[in-house]
Structure 1
Amino acid sequence: MTLTLKIVIGSTRPGRKGPQIADWVAGQARAQGGFDVEVVDLAAIALPLLDEVEHPVKRAYQHAHTQTWSAIVDSADAFVFVSPEYDFFAPASLVNAVQTLLHEWRYKPAAIVSYGGASGGLRAAQVLRGLLGNVGMMAIPQGVMLPGFAAHLHDDGFQPPQIAADSAGVMLAELAKWAGALKPLRA
């Protein structure tokens, strides 16, 4: 059974580094196998701040951008959220994207790849895990924290130390286990 993995770039800020890190995560996932991999860029979807009249529990979306986002999330079996840390928190764009929907997230596992300065985005990952649990996702504890990530950005992409690739391998293997186990719950 092939599972669908969506790698979500959480920052929409100009000059962001999330796309390079998401491409690296996608490469790790494709090399490991077991997933059909798609990178999803929140900047391209351009979700306004909670602009639907009805609560997401009703799934009565009026706007095309919400309908598009709903279809993307609905079609996934698992997620990796690529998140920077802004002011010890996940970016507002990512929090908004999660809170825009509800049912589409349920019974799906998620992992977090965070990046930042000395903490590697650990605080952002911690608050994001709580939010994901609140919308019915299984936020797995395995993730990848990338401290000092900027030193590993090069002209030919993001090239972190081997320990990051090792962590990604553990995270993706665990994510595949959870995705396979949770898929029948959504049937």
Structure 2
Amino acid sequence: MKITIISGSTRNNSASSKTSRYLKNQLLEINNKNTVDIFDLSEAQLPLWDESLDLTTLSAHADSLEASDAFVFVVPEWHGMAPPALKNLFFLFTGVFRHKPAFIVSISAGTGGRYPIQELRSTVYKNTYLNFIPVNTIIDRVNTIIDEDGNYIGEKQFVANRVDEGLKLLLEYGSAFQVIRKSDIVLEKRFPNGV
């Protein structure tokens, strides 16, 4: 199974990138037979979506995301919202998320991180057909939990346990959704833009 972690910040050396490295290590520790990639928005250099944009110029990114069976979204809270670059991803690559599960890990340098979860859950699924699993994790004061090298340094194991639960559940959903994507109703694609 291929899992892609989306690091949702465009900042270099961001807490999202560090958290993504931690999550990648945890996924490989759970099952090292999986392939785990990090799609870091600080490195991807994606254009803003525009109706005139030639999406074929992004085919390498699209192919990589399309090959994924499940996603982890590491989402920093910016001004009480998900970052615009992350939302832009869904405009550029709508079809690659169809009938695939996703786990949201929202992070904050302070005590925020709640609003992006609701924002993604309420706006992203319609046209993308992305399925957020019922579990999410919020990492408050992320810089006291994940260090510069992507290691867990939290004094307590609560966040690590929540991450472990979410990742294991994501892998189960990922296996189940492989079957769903092969079903006749999904392959039919009568309604490409959602409900």
TM-score band by shorter chain is 0.7 to 0.9
Which sections of structure 1, spanning at least 5 residues, go unmatched? 55-59
- 1:168 matched residue in structure 2: 163
C-alpha distance in 2 between matches for 1:153 and 1:133? 29
- 2:41 matched residue in structure 1: 42
Give the root-mean-square deviation of aligned CA atoms: 1.9
The answer to whether the Cα contact below 8 Å between 2:15 and 2:142 also exists between their aligned partners in 1 is: no
How does 1:1-187 map onto structure 2 within 5 Å? 3-14=1-12, 16-33=14-31, 35-51=34-50, 53=52, 61-62=55-56, 64=57, 66-116=58-108, 117-119=110-112, 121-134=113-126, 135-159=128-152, 160=154, 161-187=156-182
Distance change >3 Å, CA 45–CA 141, structure 1 → 2:
same
Provide, for residues 74-103 of structure 1, a one-character-per-residue CA deviation record: whole Å limited to 9, x for no partner: 010000011100011111111001221222
Provide, for residues 138-162 of structure 1, a one-character-per-residue CA deviation record: whole Å limited to 9, x for no partner: 1012122101112234354342341
The answer to whether the Cα contact below 8 Å between 1:52 and 1:61 also exists between their aligned partners in 2 is: no
C-alpha distance in 2 between matches for 1:124 and 1:82? 10
- Count how many residue pairs are aligned between Structure 1 and Structure 2: 177
Which sections of structure 2, spanning at least 5 residues, go unmatched? 183-195
% identical equivalent positions: 27
Quote the offset at 1:52 in angstroms.
5.1
Name the SS of the counterpart of 1:40 in structure 2: strand
Provide, for residues 9-66 of structure 1, a one-character-per-residue CA deviation record: whole Å limited to 9, x for no partner: 0010245221111011111111111632111112222111104527xxxxx723x2x2
The answer to whether the Cα contact below 8 Å between 1:132 and 1:139 also exists between their aligned partners in 2 is: no
Deviates more, 1:148-157 or 1:85-94: 148-157
Provide, for residues 148-184 of structure 1, a one-character-per-residue CA deviation record: whole Å limited to 9, x for no partner: 1122343543423411111111111211121111112
Q: Which amino acid aligns with 1:91?
A: P
Q: Which amino acid aligns with 2:163?
A: A
TM-score by length of 1: 0.86
TM-score by length of 2: 0.83
C-alpha distance in 1 between matches for 2:176 and 2:147? 38
C-alpha distance in 2 between matches for 1:155 and 1:106? 34
